[in-house]
Structure 1
């Protein structure tokens, strides 16, 4: 019986790391997205491939519930954000990638929210300190002459970068004669934010525009500025104002850990995402690990589906358990069962 272990706990150095197999498809970071890198025919980049599965040709068989399809279409028709609430691991973030994949909307812009996140973080960042340092350096090179001339000053656009929300609100391009296509923006875990962020978002989501004061102040002298986007491309901003021509498809996700103000809720299409059912779960496993893994791991899939009512288990826990127990075929059955127990521990179980 072959030893599946890489780390053995023996305290003796060895070269076992060389035997470490390829990572799970959803944890393969070997081909990160680079600015200008080609996407596949469906417009998916490395992150979408991890989200949708290595076998994403099967993604159309994920069997979304009718209410999920209807909510997505309502958000598309009404040009409103989609607020998706559900337990961890129910596929809230994946929904944004699935829509971008099916509609050919390119790379999903992702804005992960934490307790310190502000609206400005999503719109743009201005490196004022970096610009000041470069100006001082240029003057020093010019012999300390304070009147070395504006040509010695770096352009302000070199110190500005649009955030994910700011990039999503850029005027949309497209093929000549074809209607412009919206970008897809994932605002992940909005309920983790500071209490003010949901209210701060209201005006931007309603008007579809924002201003960059640093550029507005110099608009008469420098009406245009070239700035970086969240994609790593350069775009021209005129007059310090960014206004969308087509409202982006925005997915706001929440684990249901807090309530949002009514003013935000009325501006969104709301969707409560239920845990995946039999067909959805089978399609997810097949999309990530293939049909063979679905058959070999039937017992684990059944265990996941028949968990106790109210027990919180995430689908990625099941995927991890299926992947590892199959890679540990050389281990004893009791070891594989113990691995499954470790990886599929309910998230709401008291410690």
Structure 2
């Protein structure tokens, strides 16, 4: 029997682990752009014994993107994937820059396909390098622990089995299998922050600190994610304990650890209707000041036209004066 090339074996092992806990007859969908990471992922998924389908998303952002999608779909059908879907999406009217809008549209399409087909999981091809880039970008934005947690291995229907696999290994796996990956021009376009990090920032860090920096950044995300999950659980209990009358008890909030109190206030603001995309750190800091730095200040204005004030020892929702 021919020996399986080590990169191919590594990717297959990672995918088997990533699918643990799923029923034997579960349908698994692979999100595949045709790039090296998702091609290696898709090929490995075919060796798990699961029913495996494939979805490729056409964002319509590049000339010939429809041809690329049809080419990926044709390869998938020939390779035995079933079902095979092409999802065409539009980023028009979506919030954020081109990257964020494309991501929003892509995840919505993948979720809809999973729901329609009854898939138990959708596999995404993010690698250890992608995780390192995510952590570095979060650091640059001044993100808190949630941002520094990077991409989770599992969230809802989505699974990322390759987060411990280097991008170079997926390329080697494709070469060993005779697969010809598509090179996304967006990945080298300096207009995108992630492309600049990939082309310049991370190579500079590797040159200065050694190749282990990629692994260490990814490991940092894993460690912070575990701590964040623990704090989130404490915050759920603390929010329930803080409820009083029409709002939250200031005395209970004041007794919480700052990290827990911040999460409680953030969750409560979301409950009041503040949109998550617009709810910023400064809003939570202002709410916290009503608890810890009270000097008679007025209403805190949150996104969505929501006001919060301190009344009789409670934080309560009020109607902001400018919309009365």
Q: Which has the larger radius of gyration?
A: 1
> TM-score by structure 2 length?
0.25
